[in-house]
């Protein structure tokens, strides 16, 4: 899978800087992610170079994108404009957004956001895959979890070549039984004496799932641990901005 990265930050991030970050994320995918998941991708910077003004952002054509999916890097968080931009130029192609403004509000490097979005675009390009598993608070109730790579551990990161990238879950995360000697996320972070449980979330993270028993207006649920202020705060910021794959799923369910 080739993911085309298009820089629309009007010079806030230079292509030279972006190349360093893309190289680190490609290394993450090849050396950290793919050995566990057995599928991978490669990010590649495309689109016109030298964009210096916002008015130039609409000067795009099909030659700007040669991959299987697109990851846009933009400055301000304006989802209506961003979605409209994609629909105008590359409708039907899987995509994701990294907003510098949103990363600042989340108090994380935009490089972590780019890594997060790249891994999730790789794992579920159309944001429509579900995995049956237990409800995080009611284990006997079966729900259908979003197949997301980073949401459950999204407040955690690590460095590759000096570039911060996102932690991610491993295949055993999507199994309901305890696996002897198994790991559920790449970093294996221990918080409050425990590591990440399957179909749950670490502090600062959250998960989403479809709950058939929740009723017509509540069946699409986003969950974080009780008293997890960081998880609640991150979710509120994304919801207010209208950003994130959870919002994309909700939008598609309304079509």
- 97 SS3 class: strand
pLDDT at position 111: 97
Q: Which residue has the tokens 């705060």?
A: 233
Please give the tally of structural domains in the chain: 2
User: Which residues contact residue 24 at a Cβ distance below 8 angstroms, ignoring those fewer than 6 apart?
Assistant: 111, 115, 160, 161, 162, 163, 165
First-last CA distance in the chain: 27
Residues 140 and 232 in one domain: yes
Last residue of a domain, one of 123, 139, 164: 123
Residues 144 and 53 in one domain: no
Tokens representing 95 are: 């995509």
Residues 233 and 151 in one domain: yes
Domain span at 16: 2-123
- 223 SS3 class: strand
Sign of the alpha-carbon dihedral angle for 101, 106, 111, 114: negative
pLDDT at position 60: 59
Sign of the alpha-carbon dihedral angle for 85, 98, 23, 2: negative
pLDDT at position 249: 65
Residues 117 and 149 in one domain: no
Residues 113 and 140 in one domain: no
Based on its alpha-carbon atoms, the radius of gyration of the chain, rounded to whole angstroms, reads 18
User: Which residues contact residue 213 at a Cβ distance below 8 angstroms, ignoring those fewer than 6 apart?
Assistant: 141
Residues 190 and 92 in one domain: no
Residues 22 and 91 in one domain: yes
| Mode of pairing for the β-strands spanning 130-134 and 157-160 | unpaired
Neighbouring-strand partners of residue 5:
45, 71
Residues 175 and 104 in one domain: no
Residues 149 and 98 in one domain: no
| Mode of pairing for the β-strands spanning 2-8 and 130-134 | unpaired
Answer yes or no: are the C-beta atoms of 125 and 94 closer than 8 Å: yes
- 179 SS3 class: coil
In angstroms, rounded to a whole number, what is the distance separating the alpha carbons of residues 19 and 32? 19
Residue 60: CB atoms within 10 Å: 18
DSSP tag of 6: E
Last residue of a domain, one of 123, 138, 153: 123
pLDDT at position 175: 92
Please provide the size of the chain in residues: 255
Last residue of a domain, one of 73, 103, 123: 123
Residues 137 and 248 in one domain: yes
H helix runs in 28-98, sequence order: 34-37, 79-90
pLDDT at position 240: 74
Mean pLDDT (the chain, rounded): 85
Torsion angle in degrees (nearest 10) through CA of 59, 65, 68, 71? -60
pLDDT at position 59: 58
Residues 13 and 78 in one domain: yes
Residues 16 and 32 in one domain: yes
Per-block average pLDDT, block size 10, for the chain (255 residues)? 92 95 98 97 81 52 75 83 71 89 91 96 93 92 94 96 97 83 90 89 92 73 85 81 65 54
Q: Which CATH number belongs to the domain containing residue 47 in this structure?
A: 3.40.50
pTM of the model: 0.88
């Amino acid at each position: 899978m080739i993911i085309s990265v298009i820089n629309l930050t009007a010079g806030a991030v230079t292509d030279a800087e972006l190349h360093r970050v893309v190289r680190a994320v490609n290394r993450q995918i090849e050396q950290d992610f793919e050995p566990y998941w057995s599928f991978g991708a490669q990010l590649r910077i495309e689109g016109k170079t030298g964009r210096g003004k916002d008015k130039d952002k609409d000067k795009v054509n099909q030659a700007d994108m040669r991959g299987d999916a697109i990851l846009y890097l933009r400055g301000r968080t304006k989802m209506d404009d961003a979605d409209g931009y994609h629909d105008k130029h590359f409708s039907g192609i899987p995509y994701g957004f990294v907003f510098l403004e949103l990363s600042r509000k989340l108090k994380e490097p935009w490089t972590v956001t780019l890594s997060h979005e790249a891994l999730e675009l790789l794992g579920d390009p159309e944001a429509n895959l579900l995995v049956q598993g237990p409800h995080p608070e009611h284990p006997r109730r079966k729900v259908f979890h979003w197949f997301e790579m980073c949401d459950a551990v999204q407040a955690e990161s690590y460095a590759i070549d000096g570039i911060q990238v996102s932690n991610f879950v491993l295949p055993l995360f999507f199994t309901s039984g305890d696996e002897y000697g198994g790991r559920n996320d790449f970093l294996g972070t221990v918080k409050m004496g425990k590591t990440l449980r399957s179909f749950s979330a670490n502090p600062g993270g959250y998960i989403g799932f479809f709950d058939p028993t929740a009723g017509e207006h509540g069946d699409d649920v986003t969950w974080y641990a009780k008293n997890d202020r960081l998880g609640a705060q991150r979710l509120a910021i994304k919801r207010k901005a209208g950003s994130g794959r959870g919002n994309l799923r909700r939008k598609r369910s309304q079509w």
